[in-house]
């Protein structure tokens, strides 16, 4: 499912226009992104938790040349599925 299909599904489920569902999805992604930028996590009970994890620096290899390279440390977004989501998939 891509973004436009998700907007269509939200519009159908919530009985709202596609434009309104597009704005709602955009507001949701902006809110989650803003919270993660501030170092906060976003927990949706039953669905899952969005958080930021620290990835330490490490050594990697260039696959073309085989030369070793240093990969710098970074903060990466993470998602952990909630119990209800896990159960609905299985």
- pTM of the predicted protein model: 0.79
Through-space distance between the first and last CA atoms of the chain, rounded to whole angstroms: 19
Q: Which residues contact 70 (CB under 8 A, 6 or more apart)?
A: 57, 58, 59, 60
State both tokens at 82. Answer: 């909630």
What CATH architecture applies to the domain 41-90?
A: Irregular (4.10)
* Burial class for 10, CB neighbours closer than 10 Å (0-12, 13-18, 19+): middle
- Per-residue pLDDT of 41-80, as tens digits, reads 999 999 999 999 999 999 999 999 999 999 999 999 999 9
Compute CA 87 distance to the chain's CA centroid, rounded to the nearest angstrom.
Answer: 20
- Per-residue pLDDT of 18-31, as tens digits, reads 999 999 999 999 99
Domain range annotation of the chain: 1-40, 41-90
Which of helix, strand or coil describes residue 56? coil
* Burial class for 53, CB neighbours closer than 10 Å (0-12, 13-18, 19+): exposed
């Amino acid at each position: 499912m891509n973004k436009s299909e998700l907007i269509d599904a939200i519009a159908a489920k919530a009985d709202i226009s596609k434009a309104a569902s597009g704005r709602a999805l955009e507001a949701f992604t902006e809110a989650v992104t803003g919270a993660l930028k501030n170092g906060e996590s976003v927990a949706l009970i039953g669905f899952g938790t969005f958080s930021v994890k620290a990835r330490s620096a490490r050594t990697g290899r260039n696959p073309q040349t085989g030369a070793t390279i240093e990969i710098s440390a970074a903060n990466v977004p993470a998602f952990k599925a909630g119990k209800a989501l896990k159960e609905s998939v299985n």
